[in-house]
Amino acid sequence: MTTDLATVLYGTRILPVLTVPSAASAPPLAEALAAGGARCAEVTFRTPEAERALKAMTAHGGLTVGAGTVLTAEQAERAVAAGARFVVSPGFDAAVIARCRELAVPVVPGVATATELMRALRAGLDTVKLFPAAPLGGTTILKALAAPFPQVRFVPTGGIDPALLPDYLSHPAVLAVGGSWMATTSHLERRAYGEIRRLTAEAVERSTR
Ligand code: 3PG
């Protein structure tokens, strides 16, 4: 079954981005995120344990889990084989998009410019990750890019200050906001699952106000 990404991301409008050093931390991590009110999560392909972590997060059952930092078609294949229900990329790569399409899995490419956005539109996509959102100009660039592309939905990610969540989410073009602040590598190394749950709950609360 293909995930309706818009429905999943619109549920809480928060997408925790995870870099999991050890798959052993995946079950308590999934539990902490779900208990905090998250409904989805993105496991980045930045560690050798990413596929195992993705599988374990999926097995929890309470989250729709996707893959992030997918840079190649081969990684997209591995991500889907590990159970990814959606694929996120930091940039626009035609081969990644084509393979996701063949696999019938929603794909969200990263864009930083109007040209990249036009490429995504030409590829038939209408949901993009604005990345890296904060260094690019935050809500200022979001508004500027959204204006000529009213059909596009954005998932701003990258350096997001959680205090600014309401500012991002109040823009009608924003589907959801992604970020790693709710569950960082440091949290995972310290097994700070209570803190992960608290930060997730805080973000969910800010996103639904
Ligand atoms: C990503 O890959 O989406 C980013 O690394 C997440 O951005 P952040 O770590 O700045 O929140």
Is the CB of residue 138 below 6 angstroms from any atom belonging to ligand 1? no
Atom of ligand 1 nearest to the CA of 68: 2
Catalytic residues, by residue number, are 42, 129
The closest alpha carbon to 152, from 140, 144, 161, 164, belongs to 144
**b vs e for 53-75, b when ≥16 Cβ sit within 10 Å of the residue's Cβ?**
bbbbbbebeebbbbbbbbeebeb
| Bridge partners, 17 (sequence order) | 42
Tell me the CA–centroid distance for residue 156 and ligand 1, in Å: 10
Q: Report the distance separating Cα 150 and Cα 81, nearest Å.
A: 34
Residue 27's pLDDT is: 98
pLDDT number for residue 2: 60
Q: How far is the CA of 179 from the centre of ligand 1 (A)?
A: 5
Query: Angle at CA 115, nearest 5°, toward 122 and 87?
Result: 60
Q: What is the pLDDT along the chain (209 residues), one digit of tens a residue?
A: 566 777 777 778 999 999 999 999 999 999 999 999 999 999 999 999 999 999 999 999 999 999 999 999 999 999 999 999 999 999 999 999 999 999 999 999 999 999 999 999 999 999 999 999 999 999 999 999 999 999 999 999 999 999 999 999 999 999 999 999 999 999 999 999 999 999 999 999 999 86
Atom of ligand 1 nearest to the CA of 44: 2
CATH of residue 36: 3.20.20.70
- The tally of domains found in the chain comes to 1
Q: Which domain holds residue 39?
A: 5-207
Does 156 sit in the ligand 1 pocket, CB within 6 Å? no
Instruction: State the pLDDT at residue 3.
Output: 67
Comparing CA positions, the residue from 185, 167, 188, 179 lying closest to residue 88 is: 179
Query: Ligand 1: does its nearest atom lie under 6 Å from the Cβ of 69?
Result: yes
For 156-190, b where at least 16 C-beta lie within 10 A, e where not — what string? bbbebebebbeebbeeebbbbbbbbbbbbeebbee
Cross-strand partners of 130: 111
